[in-house]
Structure 1
Amino acid sequence: MQEKAGAGGYWYTQDTEQQAGAVGVLNALREYRASEAAMRRRTRSSMGMGETDLLALRYLLQAEAQGRAVGPKELGSQLGVTSASMTTLIDRLVKTGHIRREPHPTDRRALILRPTPGSDEEVRRTLGLMHQRMIAVASSLSAKEAEIIARFLTSMRDAVDAIDSENDEGR
């Protein structure tokens, strides 16, 4: 989606050729984010899960692959979920067979949350083809292109994260 310089794009003006290019990049990034959000909705629907459920399962699968044990408090902190909401989320994921509760090996009062063996396969089956297509696109980049894009995306993340820091400082 290439817009004409000077015509503006979304919130941005395009007074120079460089600004027009920048607006084109931001528009492409916005379109990617919209496509990714739609894909997440389709994935949640096909798996019968909400956004937070899927994020929780993904975090637990990653922790399991790293050999880390995760308790409800850590998961809740990672997801930004209250203790009461965390209990409801865990109950729901246990009921659907995506995770299980296990006693902590050294603390009788604590629990460890583990994904069930079938959860990893369900996620791979649901997301595998999409991840393969994404890897194919990323693999088509030269090392220099990949470095530039990674630096750009990291800088964009930092720019967006700085908004929260600035808002927190102004309070």
Structure 2
Amino acid sequence: MSIKGLVMSHKCERQGYWYGLESRKQMGAVDVLNALRDYRSAEAEMRRRTQASMGMGETDLMALRYLLEAERVGREVGPKELTVRLGITSASMTSLVDRLVRSGYVTREPHPTDRRALILRPTPGSDQEVRGTLGDMHARMMEVAATLNAEESLVVVDFLRRMRSAIDEVAT
């Protein structure tokens, strides 16, 4: 794309957000928010593609990721902990675990010291499938992030943390 095309594209982006442009500083802020919105849209679409290819919903994928992370550090996770982590009901957890077990991503095992409790473990194949499905995308994202120098990285991390705080403070 030519410089003129980039400038025209850039001007159109400024018009695409909900905020008024009262100053030059706000023009830059709107550009940042537009870029962030575009990234979030692309990420949401990637999640839909991943969920479709693995045949699972977003909560299922979040549960599997949590179980894989816990297993990597040698921590056992039961349904109660996962229920709290995902913010879902016990009935929803039962359905979720049933789906993950049926699809071969998770096993239920008896707790070693509490006969009433269960431990959820990801199957070895589930880790390989998640890595196979997401590995290429993660490598491309890491490649882009690695182009930032240390100072740029600090600025981006600080910005994203402040954005998260701003969002977390919104009353629901």
Q: TM-score, normalised by structure 2?
A: 0.91
Aligned length: 164
Name the structure 1 match of 2:4: none
Alignment of 1:1-171 (within 5 A): 2-3=10-11, 8-164=15-171, 167=172
Measure the CA separation in 2 of the matches of 1:2 and 1:61. 41
Moved over 4 A (4+): none
User: Are 1:100 and 1:113, in contact at CA under 8 Å, matched by a contact in 2?
Assistant: yes
Q: Take 1:122 and 1:54, find their aligned partners in 2: how far apart are those partners? A: 12
Distance in 2, matches of 1:51 and 1:27, equals 25
Q: Which moved more, 1:112-121 or 1:8-17?
A: 8-17
What is the RMSD computed on CA atoms of the aligned residues?
1.4
Q: How far apart, CA to CA, are the structure 2 residues paired with 1:4 and 1:37?
A: 23
Q: Is the 8 A contact 1:101 1:114 kept in 2?
A: yes
How much identity, in percent, do the aligned residues show?
Answer: 63
List alignment gaps of at least 5 residues for structure 2: 1-8
Deviation at 1:118, TM superposition (A): 0.4
Question: Is the CA contact 1:3–1:9 (under 8 Å) kept in the aligned structure 2?
Answer: no
Deviation sequence 1:84-139 (CA, Å, 0-9, x none): 01000000100100000111111111111010000000000000100000000000
Against the structure 1 CA distance between its residues 35 and 4, is the aligned structure 2 distance closer, same or farther, given a 3 Å change threshold? closer
Letter in 1 for 2:10: Q
TM-score (norm: length of structure 1): 0.92
- Could you report, residue by residue, the CA deviation over 1:134-158 in whole angstroms, capped at 9, with x for unpaired residues? 0000001000000000000000000
CA contact (8 A) 1:3 1:20 kept: no
What is the CA–CA distance in structure 1 between the aligned matches of 2:12 and 2:47, rounded to whole Å? 32
Q: Distance in 1 between matches of 2:12 and 2:71?
A: 49
Q: Give the Å deviation of 1:10.
A: 1.8
* Structure 1: stretches of 5+ with no match in the other structure: none
1:33-74 deviations in whole A, cap 9, x for unaligned?
000000000000000111111111001001111111111011
Shift of 1:2: 2.1
Contact 1:4 1:20 in 2 (8 A): no
CA deviation after TM superposition for structure 1 residue 4, in Å:
6.8
